[in-house]
Structure 1
């Protein structure tokens, strides 16, 4: 087993962080480009947002494929090949002739982008001892956030000077460099033991998780919160690209630095959970997300950015706690339980635009926030129910 701070630990951790960074750079680079895509292809806001939603939906589906497949054939090859294919998609995207082709290619890209997130932590679990694993996962999750920020900022800056085509090309070239380093650094697997691919057993495990109300509650909280949160960011780009703000693509990319509030929320979630129960932490995160959403109603750009930062803090506090709750409540097949959480999570991201679009058309940003509060009230109620169930279980044990 690889020990913490050894040469192989540093190589593997850096490789997996670069891989994670590459995945989320490619996934989210399109978000600040949505107003430009709407204008260039003469499509609606909902249709333009599908450039984001199509890839998150196929990524969600792919997570159910790569996990069991990696148990049978190994994880390193899946990560290398899928990263290569995702990079090639970004390099081809600048040359599409119509929006339909762009959507099809983004859908394919989402399908291959799921390869690394689905198996990276499992690779660490195979090869690292426990202390090394805990340290490496912290770095890995940080790389997720930085990739999301980096993709949006790079996409926005490149789009400002060369159009959306330059954004995809820049992301593709950066990904090519990261891929080369990833390929070189990732050590060969030494402790992996293949197991037969048994579809019936995998499906039975997934069904068991869905019948567990404590897990299903967390799945709904993660999925519905992301359903709102990520699509608020999509619609805020439309709001801020119009008068009176008229932000260019470059500056639309910069607004995603507010995601750093989420980085802080994730980092503090463990400490908060030591003082409060996990469902209460989820309720707190949802309340902060709701409050931040209200702040974005202000006319001042500074207040809008503050509101987004607050919302990001609350969302990631709830998300980190909900995903941790899944690992704690799953009595068996924890890998598939966590994968199912991510399926709900990314499915929510891909479907939220369909829900928010009528509210946006009817009442603009006020409609988006009103619609957000309706869904967040539901997730608050689910978290409160989990808190009640936890208290009942504790009383019954006593």
Structure 2
């Protein structure tokens, strides 16, 4: 489903890109991504304050992940019913309140409940941002706009891990959640003002005639579409292979090369650097390769990087290979994202939410499978498996992308 048929080509060429709204959505994605991983380095401190083990404290991470995965579908249905930018705005503000509840948590159970709430509200932000861009940006321009939108999410992950470690060490874990809350409130307020400026356009975007039952029926009809299942299957496998392997990269560097926790964290962060390189060069790459070629070569780049990583003789190659992995991942993932925004134009919020859930559950399954392998044989077989799966996936999807271009 690759051809936008809602506007004539000449009109599409003249359609302005709403860069201010895209920038605000990128900031919302930044705040959401920062909140996802911010608790990881805080677990020992949280456990120490509440008198529980680090393993028990990890429930605050698990709680966020559970509701984040479950509520993406709910957010998609709400976005199709009430407007996608509006849903992303409310979700950002509610995430701020969730982070504020974390600041004032008086027990580990209270903190876990606050993170449950934070995950549920943050879940809608990224899918609704992608769906809104799909609604507002013509297909011919969409892949480049999504590439420019991506740095918000990429930097948010890096920022969340960095601020969680640095600020948590010097000012305590509660200050970290306070910063996240202030960030989400500030971005949410700016989005609220943008929503007021765009109130007429947002009002027209309502899906007035669909109740909850009809919306769930629509979700079922999407899953019966062969192209939708292709995109969802591809992103599930991508999440399984890439993030199943990436989850154990830091542990591999520590065990095999004796790298410290901080050094391993810096190496993993260079994955985001590869994403930023892609964002800066996306238009030239697209002009050169086209969407199918971008996906195919992204899989090849990932294959080479993971393959070399599995037999890497020196740790100094690790940051370079990790950055290359980031570049390859976003070459492939950006093409999948564009396909997700176009696979169900009549229910884009629901479609993108299902896509995001498929990616999330793919990551979860990949980490679980890789953990079984890692405990017995180390990270080498995990990296080799990723180097085999990803180019096959990319080539298959590129072929399907070409055969669906007339839809």
User: Can you list the C-alpha shifts for 1:132-154, whole angstroms capped at 9, x where unaligned?
Assistant: 98886554333222222222222
The answer on whether the counterparts of 1:80 and 1:183 sit within 8 Å (CA) in structure 2 is yes
Tell me the matched-pair count.
Answer: 385
- Corresponding residue of 1:190: 200
The answer on whether the counterparts of 1:57 and 1:350 sit within 8 Å (CA) in structure 2 is no
* Structure 1 range deviating more: 83-92 or 268-277: 268-277
- Corresponding residue of 2:338: 324
TM-score, normalised with respect to structure 2 = 0.75
- Corresponding residue of 1:371: 382
Residue 319 of structure 1 and its aligned partner are, at CA, apart by: 0.6
Structure 1 pair 268/13, CA: closer, same or farther in 2 (3 Å)?
closer
Residue 88 of structure 1 and its aligned partner are, at CA, apart by: 2.4
Structure 1 pair 176/337, CA: closer, same or farther in 2 (3 Å)?
closer
The answer on whether the counterparts of 1:152 and 1:253 sit within 8 Å (CA) in structure 2 is no
Work out whether 1:219 is the aligned partner of 2:243: no
Structure 1 pair 290/122, CA: closer, same or farther in 2 (3 Å)?
closer
Aligned counterpart in structure 1 of residue 164 of structure 2, from 155, 159, 169: 155
User: Can you list the C-alpha shifts for 1:266-302, whole angstroms capped at 9, x where unaligned?
Assistant: 5555654555464553332223223223444436443
The separation in 2 between residues aligned to 1:86 and 1:25, in whole angstroms, is: 11
Structure 1 pair 64/354, CA: closer, same or farther in 2 (3 Å)?
same
Residue 113 of structure 1 and its aligned partner are, at CA, apart by: 0.5
Alignment of 1:203-352 (within 5 A): 203-239=216-252, 244-248=258-262, 252=265, 255-266=268-279, 268=281, 271-276=284-289, 278-297=291-310, 298=312, 300-327=314-341, 330=344, 333-352=347-366
Work out whether 1:80 is the aligned partner of 2:89: yes
Cα RMSD (Å) of the superposition? 4.1
Residue 357 of structure 1 and its aligned partner are, at CA, apart by: 1.9
User: Can you list the C-alpha shifts for 1:105-155, whole angstroms capped at 9, x where unaligned?
Assistant: 333212101233233355567778999988865543332222222222222
The answer on whether the counterparts of 1:280 and 1:383 sit within 8 Å (CA) in structure 2 is no
The separation in 2 between residues aligned to 1:266 and 1:275, in whole angstroms, is: 15
Mind listing any 5+ residue stretches in structure 2 that lack a counterpart?
1-14
- Corresponding residue of 1:18: 27
The answer on whether the counterparts of 2:92 and 2:187 sit within 8 Å (CA) in structure 1 is no
The separation in 1 between residues aligned to 2:139 and 2:304, in whole angstroms, is: 38
Partner SS for 2:379 = helix
The answer on whether the counterparts of 2:72 and 2:127 sit within 8 Å (CA) in structure 1 is yes
TM-score, normalised with respect to structure 1 = 0.77
The answer on whether the counterparts of 2:100 and 2:178 sit within 8 Å (CA) in structure 1 is yes
